[in-house]
Amino acid sequence: MFTKFWKSVLDATNGIATVWREERNFRVEVVVMALVVLAMLVFKFSLLESALLVVAIGMVLAGEILNTALEDLCNKVEPEYDAIVGKIKDTVAAFVLVSSLSALIIGVLVFVHHFVVVL
């Protein structure tokens, strides 16, 4: 049982490493994540602020991983241009865009609320 669990963890780690190697956007998003986490620690964000930021970051990174997996699957199944495959790829890219914009809005709200003093 434990062996199966650790095999799953290793497989998932390999997947993250693959996305890291192949996707520039993922690397940029991880750097942004590190900066946000650093800000959370340095400026002592509240538990709620931190939780919102972690969920937002997780959605963006998970979306990028899903996008990479589905693009690779689509390319394997249909290497030539296909309208349906293009629609699938565009839709998953839209998921990443929507999650990224949502994360940006959450980040702005948290940072503005934390740093801007209302007169």
As a whole number of angstroms, the distance between CA 52 and CA 63 comes to 17
In this structure, which topology does domain 2-115 adopt according to CATH? Helix Hairpins (1.10.287)
As a whole number of angstroms, the distance between CA 83 and CA 85 comes to 5
Q: Does residue 60 contact residue 25 with C-beta atoms inside 8 Å?
A: no
As a whole number of angstroms, the distance between CA 14 and CA 57 comes to 20
pLDDT digits (tens, 9 = 90+) for 35-79: 999 999 998 999 999 999 999 999 999 999 999 999 999 999 999
Q: What pTM was estimated for this model as a whole?
A: 0.89
pLDDT digits (tens, 9 = 90+) for 73-112: 999 999 999 999 999 999 999 999 999 999 999 999 999 9
